[in-house]
Structure 1
Amino acid sequence: MALRLLVAHSAGERDAARRVEADVFLQAFGNTPAVMEQEYGPYEDRSRFVAVVDDESGRALGAIRLIPAGPAPVKTLADVAGEPWHLPVADSLATIDLTPEAVWDVASLAVDPRYRTGAAGAEITLALCHGVWRYATGTGVHGLVTILDDRVLRVLRVLGLPWRPMAGASSRPYLGSPASTPCVFDLRKAEVEVPAARPDLVPALDSGMFRSIVVDPVDLAPTRGTVAPRARPERSLPPRRDTTGWRPPTSRRTEASANPPPR
């Protein structure tokens, strides 16, 4: 395989990122295509994807969906304002000197289960994190928000990434995950905190140095991912619904390196 880290720009790259996202979320959380459309459809034209792609097959081995700030709230902030958290979003972000207009949403994190273990699996996760770091800082973003499955949150903390619970948030069931926590990542402080926590991972997380994944700064340029919206009927955000109901997915749950729809 010839692996490359990039911000998906072509239709094929974006489709590959959506495909691995859909496969992982179905397996890990029982999120069917109908659920994914309900949750992400209203944000589709705003979404950008950081992905590790096999250039030979065109297949994405892992992807992160980003939703930039805009006139309407990003998905994570819209969701945490409702059930089950009812967070006062602006007040919560203000505790670390951020505003809803200054944050992007890490709306999903998905890695193909065949590539989660061993050194190769670790590289894919690290590469995705590096890609988000470089792309977000390149576009002038100050902070990131997400709702993370608690298992994934533990993995990211082991990697030295300072994702912290949003002020007032606690772990709750969410969209197929039995326990997820709304989190925030202050990019302004992470540049100091990450090297202090995991100096051994600085070459990967900061410099993008990997053994099996090619990283070209051009592929992470701020101009990538900004495709023209598809022609589609005007639609409003879905009505607020109760996301707390949890049920075991139809397929066997595996350890998922996936962020439940933002979670």
Structure 2
Amino acid sequence: MALRLLVASSPAEREAARQVEARVFLQAFGNTPELLEQEYGAYEERSRFIAVIDDASGEALGTARLITSGADPVKTLLDVAGDPWQLPVAESLGTVGLAAAEVWDVATLAVDPRYRAGAAGAEVSVALCHGIWRFARNCGVPGMVTILDDRVRRLVRAMGLPWHPMAGATSQPYLGSPASTPCVFVVATAEAEVYGSRPDLAPALDHGRLASITVDPADLAPHRGTLAEAPAEPEAPLPPRRDTTGWRPPTARRTEEVATPPGV
């Protein structure tokens, strides 16, 4: 397999990301495609997908759906403000120096079960985590929020990633997960925390130094992944029409004066 980490931009890349997201969330939490549409459809224009793609098959091995900040709060903040958490969002984010209007949402994180085991499988998870962090930095995002299934939270914490519970958050059932916790990630302090807790993984998480997955900085550029359609190519101009207002048939004299091409 020729694996590449990227922000899905083409329709094929976005569809591959959606397919692995749908498979994993159906298997793990019983989330049907209809439920995913109900939960995330309203955020379609603000969704970007970090994905590990097999260039040979076009298949995605894993993906993370990011919801960018906008006029309305991101999904996680709306959800944690309601049941079962009822968190005071502004106060909770304020404890780590963030504001609701500026954070992005890691709304989903999915790795195909076939690629979770062994060193190669673990690298897919590491690559996605690097992609989320690097893309956020490239876009100037100061912080991110998410609601993590507690099993996944233990995994990312073991990797050294500083996803901390939001102030006042507890573990509660959420969208098919028996136990999930709202978490926050502060970009400004993340590097020191990663190097302090997992210096062995820091080069991969911070700089994307991976053994089996290609990381091209251009594939994580800020402009990638938007739904804005490319401008239509302008139609080629038609050749100018001949001015036939003074046209007259050629005379025999003019025909005789045409030079004969060499060799004829």
Question: TM-score of the superposition, structure 2-length normalised?
Answer: 0.86
- 1:51 is the counterpart of 2:51: yes
The corresponding residue for 2:68 is: 68
Q: 1:217 Cα deviation (Å)?
A: 0.3
Cα distance in structure 1, aligned partners of 2:87 and 2:67: 20
What is the Cα deviation at residue 227 of structure 1? 2.2
Q: Deviations over 1:201-258 (max 9, x none)?
A: 12211111111100100000011112227xxxxxxxxxxxxxxxxxxxxxxxxxxxxx
Look up the SS of the partner of 2:101 in the other structure. Answer: helix
Amino acid at match of 1:89: V
Whole-angstrom distance in 2 between the partners of 1:203 and 1:182: 27
Query: In the alignment, does 2:187 pair up with 1:150?
Result: no
Equivalenced residue count is: 229
Distance 1:142 1:95 in 2: 14
**1:1-263 alignment runs, 5 A limit:** 1-228=1-228
CA shift, 1:133, in A, is 1.0
Q: What is residue 248 of structure 2 aligned with on the other side?
A: none
Residue-by-residue CA offset, 1:75-94 (whole Å, 9 max, x unaligned): 00010011100111111100
Identity over aligned residues, as a percent? 69
Q: In 2, distance between residues paired with 1:173 and 1:82?
A: 13
Larger Rg: 2
Counterpart of 1:117, as a letter, is A
1:24-45 deviation per Cα after TM superposition (whole angstroms, max 9, x unaligned): 0000000011111100111111
Higher relative contact order (CA 8 A, sep 6+): 1
Structure 2, unpaired ranges of 5+: 230-264
Deviations 1:141-167 (A, max 9, x none): 000000000000000000000111101
2-structure distance, mates of 1:211, 1:148? 27
Amino acid paired to 1:87:
L
Structure 1 runs, 4 residues or longer, greater than 4 Å off:
none
SS of the aligned residue for 2:44 comes to helix
Q: Once the 2 structures are TM-superposed, how far is the Cα of residue 121 of structure 1 from its aligned partner? A: 1.2
Is the CA contact (8 Å cut-off) linking 2:51 and 2:60 kept in structure 1?
yes
Tell me, yes or no, if the aligned pair for 2:2 and 2:56 is still in contact at 8 Å: yes
CA RMSD of aligned residues (A): 0.8
Partner deviation per Cα, 1:71-116 (whole Å, 9 max, x = no partner): 0110000100111001111111001110001210000000000000
What is the alpha-carbon distance in structure 2 between the residues aligned to residue 206 and residue 38 of structure 1? Answer: 34
AA at the equivalent of 2:43: Y
What CA distance in whole angstroms lies between the structure 1 residues aligned with 2:37 and 2:203? 37
* Long gaps (5+) in structure 1: 230-263
Q: Which amino acid is the alignment partner of residue 85 of structure 2? A: W
Tell me, in whole angstroms, the C-alpha distance in 2 between the residues paired with 1:164 and 1:60.
Answer: 28
CA–CA distance in structure 2, aligned partners of residues 205 and 77 of structure 1 = 26
Could you tell me which amino acid in structure 1 is paired with residue 141 of structure 2?
A: V
Q: CA deviation at 1:191?
A: 1.2
